[in-house]
Amino acid sequence: MYLLPKLYTCLLLIIFKAFLPGYSQDKTQNTSKTLTNEVKVTGGIISGSQASTGIRAYKGIPFAAPPVGELRWQAPQPVKPWSGVRSCTVFGPSPMQREPAPFSMWSAEFLIQKEPISEDCLYLNVWTGAKTAGEKRPVIVWIYGGGFNSGGTNVPIYDGEAMARKGVVFVSVNYRVGIFGFFAHPELTKESGRNASGNYGLLDQVAGLRWVQQNISAFGGDPQNVTISGQSAGSMSVNLLVASPLAKNLFTKAIAQSGASFTRKSLSLAQAEQEGLKMAEKLNASTLAQLRKMPANELQQKGQGSRPIVDGYFLPDDVAAIFAAGKANKVALLTGWNENEGLSGQIKSAAEFRQQVEAEYGTAAKTFLQYYPATNDKEAEFSQQNLSRDLTFGLQNYTWANVQAQQGKLPVYVYRFARIVPATGEYKKYGAFHTGEVPYAYNNLKFVDRPWEPADHQLANIMSSYWVNFATKGNPNGPGLPEWPSYTLTGKKIMVLDTKLQAKPIPDKAALDFLYKATVKN
């Protein structure tokens, strides 16, 4: 006689739970849940920290199993679950690399922390100002540079709090570098099950983006509105991710700062495997098992990494061929490079430079020297620096902008960062140097010890607003900002980012067109 009332009570409870706003058994699925320092993610529950600004930071979140032991030189494996609440208030270790030390134009603020550095490095970080899990804020995923041989997310100028204060959820992802991230070998190819090896650092980036798709809603982010952003090797990574079939549907927009792979032929898998065999011989290792047993420090000191390759899995062909075939992922693009980021080696005299140009460019040498003159040593030095900038960075990003504008389906915005970064001492000579734009773009001037002027803080505020607007809607423009025109093949207008912002046709279009015809077409 008591059965019916009990069933009725259970039914009411089920209905109550189903329709009560905010109720959920799964913290990651509840889109109206108030965001606290404890968040459920793949693997378990994490806790973060909250700044006085109201921004919450979750640092050192594992997104894959530690790539050590038998997992060295394997695609990232699922994260190992943990029990209880995992504290995520400090950065995870940077990937294995040399100990950082300031050099050239890069002071300590542009480098990773001296410790920890470890092969166990697959961690990411999230900054968010969301109050609830269902806000669907735009997401920026930052990919660091370092020539694929160095770098990490704990670099001061990569801090995400300032961008989170402007309304995005900011994520930064570690990936393997050097020999740990880019090493191909016939045995690795055979065991992979995909007939591929070598691009482990790029596979780490894909794993990080998949983690974002699965978990970012819990931080108030929108998995359908993700922008990948990177500089230097990070920008090349962005370019490669746009080209890779493995990254399909993982993001909708791309910010590429000084780097792409349009005019470079990549190593084939077979070529990279031969390099790997030579490296193994140098390391006195005849088998893959011996290589995996070698201590990470010894491997770091004696080994040498390669670079992204056409492995047939992450990258099925050269980037230019993938784009030409219309097989690249369809994304809106913001890209550009800096005024003084040439990375010239030893500077040649005017006579030596002219001799080199004549040997390399033959009948086109006269035209070449119109764009990069060398009538005296000082002029030749300036030309060599500009040539290094254009071949290493400018031509890559310029070509990408042209290809995307030619296809005409998605918007393109191009910049030139021209602000001479304030400096003292030896740093004065570097101008608008390689990486110099990063603390401006992410509003992090406070982390860099330079004699900043009010104009620098104003430029940083404008640039970071452009970046946030682009991540939000695929267009950098917004109220109170100088108008940034989209890039077209007819106008080729770019935004010059300096103390005075100006939209104008690209100033060295003719030189870049000449280089493209001379180095690519021929």
Residue 401 is assigned to a structural domain of this protein: no
Contact by Cβ (8 Å): 514, 521: no
Query: Does 434 qualify as catalytic in the annotation?
Result: yes
pLDDT band at 35 (very low <50, low <70, confident <90, very high): confident
For residue 264, pLDDT over 70 is answered with: yes
Residue 6 is assigned to a structural domain of this protein: no
Catalytic residue among 434, 437, 464, 465: 434
Query: Does 118 qualify as catalytic in the annotation?
Result: no
Residue 7 is assigned to a structural domain of this protein: no
Residue 308 belongs to domain spanning: 35-346+414-500
- For 389-415, the pLDDT digits (tens) are 999 999 999 999 999 999 888 999 999
- For 419-463, the pLDDT digits (tens) are 999 999 999 999 999 999 999 999 999 999 999 999 999 999 999
Residue 380 is assigned to a structural domain of this protein: no
Residue 399 is assigned to a structural domain of this protein: no
Count the domains in the chain: 1
Quick one: which of 77, 281, 46, 247 has its CA closest to 176?
Answer: 77
- For 131-185, the pLDDT digits (tens) are 999 899 999 999 999 999 999 999 999 999 999 999 999 999 999 999 999 999 9
Burial, 291: exposed, middle or buried (Cβ in 10 Å; 0-12, 13-18, 19+)?
buried
Phi (first) and psi of residue 69, to 5 degrees:
60, -125
Contact by Cβ (8 Å): 93, 118: yes
Residue 44 is assigned to a structural domain of this protein: yes
Contact by Cβ (8 Å): 142, 441: no
Catalytic residue among 135, 161, 273, 341: 341
For residue 37, pLDDT over 50 is answered with: yes
Residue 70 is assigned to a structural domain of this protein: yes
Catalytic residue among 150, 172, 197, 232: 232
For residue 21, pLDDT over 60 is answered with: no
| Rounded distance between C-alpha atoms, residue 34 and residue 27, angstroms | 10
Residue 426 is assigned to a structural domain of this protein: yes
- Cβ neighbours for 396, distance < 8 A, ≥ 6 positions apart: 236, 239, 259, 260, 261, 262, 263, 264
Site of tokens 């075939």: 325
CATH number at residue 190: 3.40.50.1820
Mean pLDDT of 478-489: 97
The residue with greater pLDDT, 13 or 164, is 164
CA 200, 139, 39, 214: dihedral to nearest 10 degrees?
-50
